[in-house]
Amino acid sequence: MRPWVLLLTGCSILPQSLEPPPNDETTVAVLSGSLGHPMNAIARHPWFAVRRAGEKTWATYEVGGGDGTEEVDPFRDHTPYLDPIVHKVWRGAEAELAAACIARVAPGVRQRIEAGYIFFPGPNSNTFGDVVLRACHLHASLPSTSVGKDYRGLFGAGITSEGTGVQIETPVLGLKIGLKEGIEVHIIGLSFGVDFWPPALIVPWGTGRVGFADR
């Protein structure tokens, strides 16, 4: 694929597999899917998928959807969201702690966000994903097309969800800098920047990255 085509479409190399891990250990994952047309290229929606060791079904947590409802395979079929991407998977003892925290924290976060939901700039479903990640100390990043993930009200500052950087946010402008996060500028909720590892340009469309897929 020509470089300029990559830049126009947004393309990530070596994305994480959509094949669910075996159920011999507890698994927790954070995923996102695109919205339907015409928003499919510029907006995504996140959810957490949790499966305890030995179980065959999954529990999902999100705004406007699952609140522990069991699903067969939220890795590959999470209607109405399209083209799912796996952003991070935790297994074993780490996943046990994550599952307990998500079950404890997510319902309250969801309730607060749904009570004051605003599609843009937030709080919205992407704000929910970022808040739960930080509350449970789950080091992962939502894609740049998850508009609202950086919502902090009129002004906010703190540690990034990856845990290795800092960010300052307003609804108009924001800045994120970190060892894993690279440098990311937010303009009215849209993200632009450079991720150092794995290397990629951060863009506000498509998969949100031009280069290697997220960690």
115-120: list long-range contacts, CB under 8 Å, 24+ apart.
117/63, 119/148, 120/147, 120/148, 120/189
What is the maximal distance between C-alpha atoms in the chain? 47
Using alpha carbons only, what angle is made at residue 123 by residues 83 and 140, rounded to the nearest 5 degrees? 50
Q: Of 22-26, 67-71, 93-97, where does mean pLDDT reach its minimum?
A: 67-71
Residue type, 168: I
Q: How confident is the model at residue 11 (pLDDT cuts 50, 70, 90)?
A: low
CA–CA separation, 130 and 189 (whole Å): 14
The pTM of the full predicted model, rounded to 2 decimals, is 0.90
Q: How confident is the model at residue 96 (pLDDT cuts 50, 70, 90)?
A: very high
* Mean pLDDT of the 156-185 span: 94
Q: How confident is the model at residue 1 (pLDDT cuts 50, 70, 90)?
A: very low
Looking at residue 10, what is its pLDDT? 53
pLDDT at 62 over 70: yes
**125 closest CA partner among 50, 207, 31:** 31
